[in-house]
Amino acid sequence: MKDDVHRKQKVKFKPAKFKKSDKSWVIKTIVITFVLSGFFNILSSGLAQMVNIWIAVLILLVIVFIGILFDVIGMAVTTADEAPFHSMAAKRVKYADRAILLIKSKDKVSNFCNDVIGDICGIISGSASAAVVAYIITISPGLSSVLLSLVITASVAAITVGGKAVGKTIAIKYSSFIVYNSARAIAVLKFWSK
């Protein structure tokens, strides 16, 4: 009878080993967010008012898809295993060392991709949606602004959330492929910036 009774066991969780937060990274993140947010806001609002409606909608969709793409990259780096890249680096596969650096800096990469770029794109897509609604109302004053705003903002939200849901599944399944190609893209961008 006593064997059937389970004793209450205390469960202890140890925190993961973690480096102290880098204050300079936090300051850089704030500055980068401020600059990128201003740039994307000027781009989306200014272009939406200067171009026709179809190009304005295209700009809005590009902003949404940039947010989804960076969300996928952030998730892939967070979930990727470092071991295959060490094997690739031992075989001198190009860009494997950059992929290892991405994975080792997964907290910063995830913060930049998911929070900085992802959140900026989410906020800017909202203001771009408002600019598109205002533009449509200007050229077609008979339309209901409330209904039009509801349809456009709900559509943008559905595309964003649905795209990120599909993107997260893809990021987890193909994390190594995405991390490797992100490392290649970074190498190309660094080459161009020289």
* One-letter amino acid for residue 3 of the chain: D
Predicted confidence band of residue 193 (pLDDT cuts 50, 70, 90):
very low
pLDDT for the residue numbered 59: 83
Residue for token pair 């190609």: 181
How open is the CA angle 168-172-176, to the nearest 5 degrees?
A: 130
d(CA 136, CA 128): 12
Q: How big is the chain, counted in residues? A: 194
Tokens of 175: 């994390």
Please tell me whether the overall predicted TM-score, pTM, comes out greater than 0.85 for this model: no
pLDDT for the residue numbered 51: 67
pLDDT for the residue numbered 178: 95
Q: Decide if pLDDT at 4 tops 80.
A: no
* Tens-place pLDDT, residues 80-131: 999 999 889 899 989 999 999 999 989 889 988 988 888 888 888 888 888 7
Predicted confidence band of residue 181 (pLDDT cuts 50, 70, 90):
very high
pLDDT for the residue numbered 5: 53
* Tens-place pLDDT, residues 20-52: 556 777 788 788 888 877 777 776 666 556 667
d(CA 190, CA 184): 10
CA 190 to chain centre: 20
Do 160 and 125 touch, CB atoms closer than 8 A? Answer: yes
Q: Is the dihedral of CA 134, 139, 143, 147 positive or negative?
A: negative
Do 40 and 63 touch, CB atoms closer than 8 A? Answer: yes
